[in-house]
Structure 1
Amino acid sequence: MHTIEWQDFERVELRVGTLLSARLNEKANKPAYVLEVDLGELGVKTSSAQLTAHYTAEQLLGRQVLCVCNFAPKHVAGVRSEVLVTGVYDSDNRVVLASFDHPLPNGARLA
């Protein structure tokens, strides 16, 4: 593992967002959802995420997640992905979302 300086970490915009919608991305090679994420003052952003193993689209609605907001937009399976919704792979290589146990304001930055 490489160490980084605190200033490197401060450059990453990790913010809280609420999932407003989730629909299957029919163009994805691996099952994925197209997500709309409310990031408060940053607006509503789109993301593509491989979350279908643990979550139905209905289970995602209203869930608060941690997003990387300052990556350049990227085209993923026909979707302009503007933020990275974060998660961790479980022992079966399926994504489990990074989330919160108390409600937070949309757009709040990780401290």
Structure 2
Amino acid sequence: MQQIEWQDFARVELRVGSIISAAHNPKAIKPAYVLKVDLGELGIKTSSAQITAHYQAEDLIGRQVLCVCNFAAKRIAGITSEVLVTGVYDPDNKVVLASFDMPVANGARLA
């Protein structure tokens, strides 16, 4: 594993957001949702997320997730993805969302 300096990590804007909408993206080659995420002071951002294996769109509404907010926007399957919703792969290579066990403010930065 390559080590990084604290300054490298500090440059990554990891913030909490609440999913306010989720819909299937019919243009995606691999099944994906188009998410709208409320990031508090940063506003509402769009993300493309391949998380359909474990999550139904309607069950994602209100869920708080951890997002990388300072990547450059990227065009993915017909949408502009502005943030990366984070997660980890399970043993079947399906994404499990990084989330919180207690409510926190939208836009809060990872400590």
TM-score by length of 1: 1.00
Q: State the shift of 1:46 in Å.
A: 0.1
Matches of 1:52 and 1:79, distance apart in 2: 17
Query: Structure 1 segments of 4 or more deviating over 4 A?
Result: none
Task: Report the CA distance between 1:3 and its aligned residue.
Answer: 0.1
Task: Report the 3-state secondary structure (helix = DSSP H, G, I; strand = E; otherwise coil) of the residue aligned with 1:70.
Answer: coil
What is the CA–CA distance in structure 2 between the aligned matches of 1:58 and 1:45, rounded to whole Å? 18
Secondary structure, aligned partner of 2:8:
helix
Paired with 1:79 and 1:97, the residues of 2 have a C-alpha distance of: 21
Task: Normalising by structure 2, report the TM-score.
Answer: 1.00
SS at match of 2:58: helix
Query: Which sections of structure 1, spanning at least 5 residues, go unmatched?
Result: none
Counting only pairs closer than 5 Å after superposition, residues 54-69 of structure 1 correspond to structure 2 as 54-69=54-69
Residue 4 (1) aligns with residue 4 (2): yes
- Map 1:1-111 onto structure 2 (within 5 A): 1-111=1-111
- How many percent identity over aligned positions? 77
RMSD, matched Cα: 0.3
Deviation at 1:85, TM superposition (A): 0.1
Superposed displacement of residue 98, structure 1: 0.1
How big is the shift at 1:61?
Answer: 0.4
- Structure 2 unmatched ranges of 5 or more: none
Q: How far did residue 101 of structure 1 move? A: 0.2
